[in-house]
Amino acid sequence: MDTLRVFFEWCETIDAVQPGLFKKIKSPVIPDGGSVDDTVIHTDEANEILEHLGRYEYATVEHMVWLILAKTGMRMGAAHALDVKDYRPGEEQPHLSIVHRPETATPIKNGRKGERPVSIEPDACEIVDDYLEQRRPDVTDEHGHDPLLASQQGRLSKSTIRRYVYKWSRPCAAGQRCPHDRNPEECEAATDLDQASKCPSSVTPHPIRRGYITRLLQAGVPVDVVSDRCNVSPAVIEEHYDVRTEDEKMRQRHQVLRETLGNADT
């Protein structure tokens, strides 16, 4: 279903199908016993949600959660671990520095090997700057650190991050028509935020990461670059993220060779 969805998204670019048709193709959650959950939030969907948040929830912590997850592809645990000092807008390349700090209850997956700077674009920096200047509460966590994602109680919990992802991945929350033919005024998942996860379209944070990685691969970004940026091995990318056909891979390799070698024989 994931591959079919990507195909229909491509078909839209050549006007072969009705616009938005790919959004109706939902990837199923594999039940217990399956090897992997292929649910994904594609980049176009994430951008629509970010556009809505930018209009109605600008520079709130909920906007920040989606901005960081959708624009960097980092894991939820890495986003949770970010401190204000990890935001480096003044560097030659603005970035977020992901650091493993188990002693302050902010470990990251893969420990020290998962530490890395993750670049962010200037438009994202503007939002982060406004959040820090206008929205972020002046709080520290129980270890005296200044968490980037913060509430009045301190560092935003992982469960709260997950809650915000559930909340805004519901199509009706972002002003879109319900693809499940439900009445938002009567739907439990729409009227009760505690039940947002019951919406068939709502997702956990990981599908945002999966969509981000998939889009990088489709754009022809070399696998080793994706691996370094997202801290995921090429083997895992190949098994769980790469939906390109062999012909697509060949064309993208050829394009990289042409750009690297110029007019030399490729």
pLDDT tens for the chain, 266 residues long, are: 767 877 887 887 788 888 777 767 766 544 443 444 557 888 888 999 999 999 999 999 999 999 999 999 999 999 999 999 999 999 899 999 999 999 999 999 999 999 999 999 999 999 999 999 999 999 999 999 999 999 999 999 999 999 999 999 999 998 888 988 898 889 999 999 889 988 988 999 999 999 899 889 888 888 899 999 999 999 888 887 776 678 877 887 788 788 878 755 55
What pTM, to 2 d.p., does this model score?
Answer: 0.80
Cβ–Cβ < 8 Å for 27, 117: no
Residue 47 CA to residue 29 CA, distance in Å, equals 22
C-alpha closest to that of 196 among 154, 151, 159: 159
Amino acid 233 reads S
Cβ–Cβ < 8 Å for 37, 47: no
CA torsion sign for 128, 133, 137, 138 is positive
Q: Is 263 exposed, middle or buried (0-12, 13-18, 19+ CB in 10 A)?
A: exposed
